[in-house]
Structure 1
Amino acid sequence: MIILGKDRLMIIDGSSLIYRAFYALPLLSTKDGIYTNGVYGFLTMLYKIKEEYDPKYLCVAFDKKGPTFRHLEFEQYKANRDKAPNELSLQFPILKDVLNAMNVNQIEIDGFEADDIAGTVAKFGEANDLDVILVSGDKDYLQLVSEKSKVLLTRKGITELEEYDLDAMSNKYGITPEQFIDLKGLMGDNSDNIPGVPGIGEKTGLKLLKQFNSMENIYEHIEEVRGNKTRESLIEHKQQAFMSRKLAEIVTNVPIDLDIEKMELVEPDWEKLKIIYEKLEFKSLIEKIPNDKVEVDTKTFETNFTIVESKVDFEKIIENIEKTKKFAFKFVISDENIHKGEILGIAIKTEDSNTYYINFEGNELLPCFINSFKNIFEREDIGKIGHNLKNDIVILFKLGINVTSITFDTIIGQYLINPSQTNYSISELANEYLNIQIEGEEDLLGKGKNKKTYKSLTVEQRGEYTSKILDLVFMLENEILGIIESQGMNELFNNVELPLIEVLASMEYYGFKIDMDILKDLGTKFDEEIEGLTKEIYSLAGEEFNINSPKQLGEILFDKLDLPVIKKTKTGYSTNAEVLDKLFDKHPIIEKILKYRQIIKLKSTYIDGLIALVDEDTNRIHSSFNQTVTNTGRISSTEPNLQNIPVKTEEGREIRKAFVSQNQDYVLVDGDYSQIELRVLAHISDDPKLKEAFYHNEDIHTKTASEVFGVAKEEVTPLMRSRAKAVNFGIVYGISDYGLSRDLNISRKEAKEYIDNYLNNYEKVNEYMDNIIEVGKRDGFVETILHRRRYLPELKSKNFVVRSFGERIAMNTPIQGSAADIIKVAMVKIYTKLKKGKFKSRLILQVHDELIIEAHKDEIERVKELLQEVMEDAITLSVPLKVDMKVGNNWYETK
C-alpha cells in the first residue's frame, strides 16, 4: 500500500469503474428487475479503497453524453465502440443516486471525458499540496503519475488494484509518464479507435522511446530507426502519429470551477442511503451502515436454552417430543469433515419449549443418548425438522440410528423458492424473512486459514448458537411452506426433495469402496506414459523444455517450428486446447502434447486426487452430495466430484475399475436411463414423430438422421448418425448454428441447415421452443413437470448475448430439470423399497442418469427387477422410460 504523508485526494474514473464492474460480475437484478451488478461492483471497490487509503477528499468523474473536442479533431474517434448495453446504461443514474446519498462530489462536463476531468482535478490537488490517488481501469491514466500523484489500475475485473508511482512506471515500462503519451501516439489504441502508426505495438514503441526519448526526436533521427518496415511506416504516417498523440493526451486544464471543500468526505445521508440499498437488495452494504446512524428495523432476539450434562433431563425432553409429535435438532461436531469429526453435542427443541443442548464432550453421555433417543428418531409418527439436515442424518447413521419422517428443512425449502441463491445460511434466511439479524457461522468461526472449529468454542457458545438455529427453523417453517404451497411445489417438496435428504445422507455414509492397488497401478502406468510422451515431445521439438509452460511451449510451436499463430494473449502465444485442436494436422508434436496433457490431468486429478480422499478406516470414498447447488435441480457431488470421472477415453474409463463392490458377497447393479432428456422433450413438446420413435423402440439418432438428411433409415451412415446425435442433444441444450458447427467441425451454413431440417421435421419441438420462451418472458420463470421453477431475468435483457443465454436456459430447464426430477423420484422409491424390504443391498451412487446399487449376491435378480421397475415407472410420461441394466464387480464392468 502507498505510504502517504499529507492529506489525500482520491479521484475515481466513475465511467471506467462501473463499466469494468458490469462486465466483471454476472448480470444481477432485484426482484423488481432492476439491474445492479455494475453499481454493486463499483461500490464494493469504493468501500475497499476508501478503507485502504483513507482519503480526506474524494470526487468521481464521469463521461458526459455527446461529442468531445477529440471528435472534432478526429471524426472516427471511438467510432468502433459498441453502444453500452441498456442493462449498463440504466445503472449510471442509480450509481449517481447512491453517490449523492453518500455526499460524494461528482463532476461531468460537456465536451470533455472523465480522464480530462480527473487530470484537471489531479493538478488542482497537487497545487493544493495534496497527495493525489487516481483510480481507473484505463492505462491512459499512467501519464498523470507524478511526484504527488499515484495511479491505481483495476485488474482481474475490479478485484485487484495495481499501484503506479514514478518508480513503478520506470520498473514496468522503463519510460516516464510524459513519454507514455508519446507511446500512445505511436501504438494507437484500438478501444478508442486511435490509429497510431501501423505495425508499431507496445514493444516496438517502448524500444523507440528508450532509444530516442520522444516522438519529435524519433523523427529528427528517422534515418537511425532500425527496420525498414518500421522506418517507412513512421515516415508515411507522421501526421497520424502526432494526431494520435494529441488524441491520447489527457487535458489537465478543463475549465472547471473547483472547490476543495466540496470534495471533502462528509457523513452520508444514512437514511437515504439505507432506503436505496434496501431497494437495490444490497444486504451486505446495508450492514456497513452503522446501527446508531439509522433507525434499525431489523430485530435481534434472545434465545433460551438449557445445557444438559446428565441423562436425568432426557425424560423431560422426550416427554415434550411425545406431546408435540415434532422436534427440531442440530448436531455439533469438531471438524468440517463429518466422517472424521468428534460429536460434541446435539441441540433439541420442540415448538413450545426452550432448546436443550446435550453436551457430549468430556462425559460418557453419548451412549446414553443413543439408547434413550433412538426410538424417538426412528418413529414415523414424530416429525423432524431442521436446517441442513443431511449432515445431521449422516451422524445419526454413524450412531446406528435410522431416522424417519423428515418434514421440513429450511435450506431445501428456500432452494425450491430461489434455486439461484448462493447463500442459504440460517442468518441469511432470518434476515430475509423475519428481519432478524443473528451472528452467522462465519462470524462465529471466521473463515480461511484462521477459521476455528466448534471445538474451540465454549459449551455455552455452542448451546446459544444452535438454540438460535432451532428457534429460527420453527419461525421460518410456515413462511417458507406458504410460498412453496402457493407455487404448486408441495408434491415436489414433500415427496421428492425432503425424503431425498435421507437418501443422499445414506449414500454419503456408505460411500464407494476403492481398490487402492488398482489406483496405484494405474498411477504407475500413467507415470510411465507421461515419461514416454515427454521424450517423444522433446525429440519432435529438437530440444528439452518445460511442456507445462505455455510461454516455452508457444516459443517451440510458433517460433521454432513455425506453426501458424492462432491466438495471442497479453503474455504471448495461446496454447490452449482450442488452439492445439486447430493445429492438430500441422505437426505430429500436437497430438503428443494433447495426449500428454490428458494423461497429466488423469494422474493428478483422478489418481492422486482420489487416493487423497479415500477414508483410511473404510477404504471407501465418501463424496458429498449436494442438493441445493444447481439451478436445474440436478444433484452434484464434491470431494470428489464423481460426476466428472472420465468416460470419453479408455484411459479415463480405466479409473472406474478402482470403484469396486464391498467384498466378494456383493456386486454392482447399474441402472442407466436411455436418452431420458430426449424422451422428456418428446413428452413436453408432444411431437408425434419423436413420440413414435420411442413407442416403437427405434434408434432415435438413426431416425433423426433419416429425417434431417432425407434418406431411408437403412441408408444412414455412421457419420450421419453421429451428426444427428449431436443435433438431437444440441437441440435439448438450445445449441446455436455456431455451437453445432464448432462441435462437428463443419461450416455454420451446414450446421444451420441441420438445425432447420430438424425443426422442420419435428414441428412440435419447434413450437415448444418458441412457446416456452414466451412463457418465460410472460411469467418470469419456466417450470419442470413437477413445477420446479427457474427464474429468468435474462429474457428481459436488451443485450442480445444475455437474452440469447436466457432463451437457451428457458428451452433447456424444463427438459433437464424434469430429467433431474425423474431420477430423484426413482432414488427415493428404490431407497424406500430397499429399506422397508430389509435388503442387504443399498443405493450408493447417482451420476447423471444412472443409479448404482451395491447388491448382495443373494439379492441380485430381485434388485435388478426392482430397480428397472422403479426407474421406468418413476413418473408417467406420454412415452416409455427405458433403463439399461448392467451388473459387474466394478464400475468399469457396469458400463
Structure 2
Amino acid sequence: MVPEPEKKQRLVLIDGHSLVYRAFFALPSLTDRDGKMVNAAYGFTSMLLLALQEHPDYVLASFDLGGRTFRHEELAQYKATRRPTPPELTPQFPLTRDIVRAFGIPIYEIQGVEADDVIGTLARQAREQGLQSTIVTGDLDALQLVNDDVFVLTSKRGVSETILYTPDRVRERYGLEPIQTVDLKGLVGDVSDNIPGIRGIGEKTAIKLIQEFGSVESLVENRERVMPPKIKKLLDEHWEQALLSKKMATILLDVAGVTLDLSHGSAKDYRPDAARTILSDLGFRSLAARVPQTWTDGSAMSAPPIFAPPAREQGRLPLDGQPAEPRQPTLALESTATESVTVIRDSGDLENLIAAFAAAERAGFQVVTLDDVPRHGRIAALVVGLNEREIFYVPLAHEEERCLELRDVLRRFSPSLQNAKPSKLGFNQKADYLALRAHGIELRGADWDLLVAAYLLNSGVRSPSLEALASDVLHRSIEGREALFGSGKAATTCDQVEIMRAAAFFGERMRVMLQLAPRLESELDRLGNAELFRDLEMPL
C-alpha cells in the first residue's frame, strides 16, 4: 500500500495594511464609546477571524511602516496620485496592530519595505520549509505569488464574503498563469499605485499578448512580430515603460532582514482572553463572542454571521452592559451575502445581473453621475436593487481602479432600460432619464419615483431628501452626500472615491429606497393619492 503524503502545515500571512484600508472604505461609519472611528479595525478583525476559521498552524502579520521604497527611487510617480490617508483612518492602523498583538500574532515590518514584499519573502521561505501558505489581503497584487503551496484569500464583497485564489482559479479568471499576472500589470499598469503600463493597451489585448509571447520581456524582444501595427507602434515607443512597470509591480521574494521564525506565531502563542478583552473594550462584542478558546476549536467562529447591533446614536455601538434600543439597524458592520453590496467588475457577472434585472417584475435602478447636471451624461456608476438583499454596484468611472467600459455596459443594459419591464423604482428618476438620454437611451418603465411620492404625501416640502425619508419613515439614519464627497472647495466627485466606499454608500441608499417603497405606497393608498401618483404625476 502506498502511504498517503504527509499533510503540510499551514501558515496564514495577514496583509494588515491592505485589509485595514479596504475595511475603512467598505464599511459605514462606526465609532467606539469615546467617539473614535473604528470601522476599519472592526472589518479587519472580522477578516482575521475568518482566516482563523481554517485552523492554521501558524499566523503572522505584516504592515507598511511608510516612507520611500526602492520603487519610489526608480519611478518618481509611484503612488504619487494617491490622496492623503483620511484622518479618521490613520489612528486605526496602530489600533489594529494592538488587536493583532492581543491575539498573540507576531508582526513583521521593515522601514522602507512594503508589506507585500515582506509577505512574498515569508511565503517563499515557508514553501522552502515545507509549509503551505494562505495570504489574506485586500487587493489582488499577491496573485503573482500563487502556486501549489501559496493561495490568496481576498474579499469578494464587503469584508466577509471571500474568494480563495488557487492556481486554477487564477487561470480561470485571467487565462494566465499566476506569475503572469505581473506581466499583465506591466502592460496595463496599476492606477492605484500610479504604475503607467502602456497607455492604449487594455486588459483583453494584454492578456492575448501574454498568452502568445509568455512575458513582457519576450514580448519586447519579439515585438517585430506583433500585430496589429497600432499595438506594435505602442510597444516600439513605450517598451522601456512596460519593463519598468513590471518591475514596479513585481513583489520581492528576498527582502534582507526578513527571516521566517516558526518559534513564534503558533497555537501556543494564542491569547484568546487578551483578544476578547481588547475587542470588548472597543465595543466589538459580537466579534469577541466569536473568538475561540483554541485555534483548533472552530465552534465559536463557525456561528452564523453577526450583524451590527442596533445603533443608540448614529454610527455608535451600545456600551457593554447597556441594552440595545429597539431601532432599525444601519448597514451591517460585517457584510454578508444578505446585507452587502456586490461590485460588478467583470463581463460574466454583468451578464448575470442584466439577465436577472430583465426578468424582475420591479427593480431599483439609479444612475450615479459625476456632476449635478445629468443631461451632460457623465455617468460614474449604475446601481441595481433586485430586492433588499441583492444590491449591485456597477462602477464605470473611478480613477484609481479598473472599471467596465461605459459604452459597452450601456449597450448591454439598453434593451431592459428601454423596456417597460421591469418596473423601475428610484429617487429622482428624471435625473436618471436625462443621464441615459445623453447616451441615446430612452428610459422606460420608470414608474415609481420616491421623490414624487414623498412630494404628494407632504406637498409642503419642496424637495424631500432620501435622508429625511429614511429618518421619518424608517426611523433610521443614513449618510448624506457630503459624507461621501465633502463640500465646498474640498468637495470631490464619484470618480475620486474608492469603489468599495462608493458601493457601500449608494448600496445603502438603494436598500433604503426598496424599504421605503411599500411604506409610501401604502400611505398613498390610505390617503387616496395612489391613482393621482400612478396616472398623473408619474407620466409627467
TM-score range with shorter-chain normalisation? 0.5 to 0.7
List alignment gaps of at least 5 residues for structure 1: 293-413, 436-447, 450-544, 553-563, 603-642, 654-670, 678-727, 736-782, 806-844, 855-885
In angstroms, what is the RMSD of aligned CA positions? 4.8
Aligned to 1:153: 154
Aligned to 2:366: none
Q: Is the 8 A contact 1:186 1:196 kept in 2?
A: yes
Distance 1:271 1:547 in 2: 45
- Deviation of 1:598 after TM superposition, in Å, equals 3.2
List alignment gaps of at least 5 residues for structure 2: 295-308, 325-336, 339-350, 359-376, 381-395, 397-401, 418-430, 493-517
Q: Is the 8 A contact 1:566 1:574 kept in 2?
A: no
Aligned to 1:110: 111
Q: Which amino acid aligns with 1:729?
A: S
Deviations 1:154-210 (CA, angstroms, capped at 9, x unpaired): 211323222222222222222223322222111111110111111112211110011
Name the % identity: 33
Distance 1:421 1:565 in 2: 32
Aligned to 1:229: 230
Matched, 1:64 2:65: yes
Look at both structures and tell me which one has the larger radius of gyration over its CA atoms.
1
Alpha carbons of structure 1 residues 95 and 196: separation in structure 2 relative to 1, 3 Å: same
Alpha carbons of structure 1 residues 549 and 800: separation in structure 2 relative to 1, 3 Å: same
Distance 1:139 1:28 in 2: 26
Query: What is the DSSP-based 3-state SS (H/G/I as helix, E as strand, rest coil) of the residue aligned with 2:463?
Result: helix
Matched, 1:25 2:27: yes
- Deviation of 1:274 after TM superposition, in Å, equals 3.4
- Deviation of 1:580 after TM superposition, in Å, equals 6.3
Aligned to 2:36: 34
Matched, 1:581 2:470: no
Match of 1:284 among 286, 290, 299: 286
Distance 2:15 2:91 in 1: 18
Deviations 1:611-668 (CA, angstroms, capped at 9, x unpaired): xxxxxxxxxxxxxxxxxxxxxxxxxxxxxxxx969759xxxx9xxxxxxxxxxxxxxx
- Deviation of 1:231 after TM superposition, in Å, equals 0.8
Aligned to 2:321: 432
Distance 1:18 1:116 in 2: 18
Alpha carbons of structure 1 residues 548 and 27: separation in structure 2 relative to 1, 3 Å: closer
Q: Is the 8 A contact 1:10 1:58 kept in 2?
A: yes
Alpha carbons of structure 1 residues 674 and 217: separation in structure 2 relative to 1, 3 Å: closer
Greater RCO, 1 or 2 (C-alpha within 8 Å, sep 6+):
2
Q: Which amino acid aligns with 1:63?
A: D
Query: What is the DSSP-based 3-state SS (H/G/I as helix, E as strand, rest coil) of the residue aligned with 1:161?
Result: strand
Distance 2:233 2:530 in 1: 73
Match of 2:446 among 575, 578, 598: 598
Distance 1:192 1:887 in 2: 54
Aligned to 2:374: none
Matched, 1:729 2:463: yes
- Deviation of 1:266 after TM superposition, in Å, equals 3.2
Alpha carbons of structure 1 residues 58 and 673: separation in structure 2 relative to 1, 3 Å: closer
TM-score with structure 2 length normalisation?
A: 0.63
Distance 1:26 1:5 in 2: 41
Distance 1:153 1:211 in 2: 29
Distance 2:6 2:284 in 1: 32
- Deviation of 1:236 after TM superposition, in Å, equals 0.6
Q: Is the 8 A contact 2:37 2:88 kept in 1?
A: yes
Distance 1:121 1:263 in 2: 13
Alpha carbons of structure 1 residues 645 and 36: separation in structure 2 relative to 1, 3 Å: closer
Alpha carbons of structure 1 residues 278 and 167: separation in structure 2 relative to 1, 3 Å: closer
- Deviation of 1:220 after TM superposition, in Å, equals 2.4
- Deviation of 1:85 after TM superposition, in Å, equals 0.4
Alpha carbons of structure 1 residues 153 and 586: separation in structure 2 relative to 1, 3 Å: closer
Aligned to 1:189: 190
Q: Which amino acid aligns with 2:290?
A: K
Within 5 Å, give how 1:642-661 maps onto structure 2.
647=453
Alpha carbons of structure 1 residues 258 and 579: separation in structure 2 relative to 1, 3 Å: same
Distance 1:73 1:434 in 2: 56
Deviations 1:133-167 (CA, angstroms, capped at 9, x unpaired): 11212222111011211112221132322222222
**Number of residue-to-residue matches in the alignment:** 407
Query: What is the DSSP-based 3-state SS (H/G/I as helix, E as strand, rest coil) of the residue aligned with 2:437?
Result: coil
Deviations 1:525-553 (CA, angstroms, capped at 9, x unpaired): xxxxxxxxxxxxxxxxxxxx99955999x
Matched, 1:89 2:90: yes
Matched, 1:266 2:268: yes
Aligned to 2:165: 164
Aligned to 1:174: 175
Structure richer in helix, relative to its length: 1
Within 5 Å, give how 1:515-664 maps onto structure 2.
549=355, 568=396, 570-572=403-405, 573-575=408-410, 581-584=434-437, 587=440, 590-591=441-442, 594-595=443-444, 597-598=445-446, 647=453
Q: Is the 8 A contact 1:846 1:852 kept in 2?
A: no
Q: Is the 8 A contact 1:673 1:849 kept in 2?
A: no
Q: Which amino acid aligns with 1:418?
A: R
Distance 1:241 1:44 in 2: 38
Q: Is the 8 A contact 1:673 1:850 kept in 2?
A: no
Distance 2:480 2:529 in 1: 44
Distance 2:59 2:65 in 1: 19
- Deviation of 1:888 after TM superposition, in Å, equals 11
Query: What is the DSSP-based 3-state SS (H/G/I as helix, E as strand, rest coil) of the residue aligned with 1:80?
Result: coil
Alpha carbons of structure 1 residues 579 and 234: separation in structure 2 relative to 1, 3 Å: farther
Deviations 1:263-295 (CA, angstroms, capped at 9, x unpaired): 323354444333322321111022235699xxx
- Deviation of 1:262 after TM superposition, in Å, equals 1.6
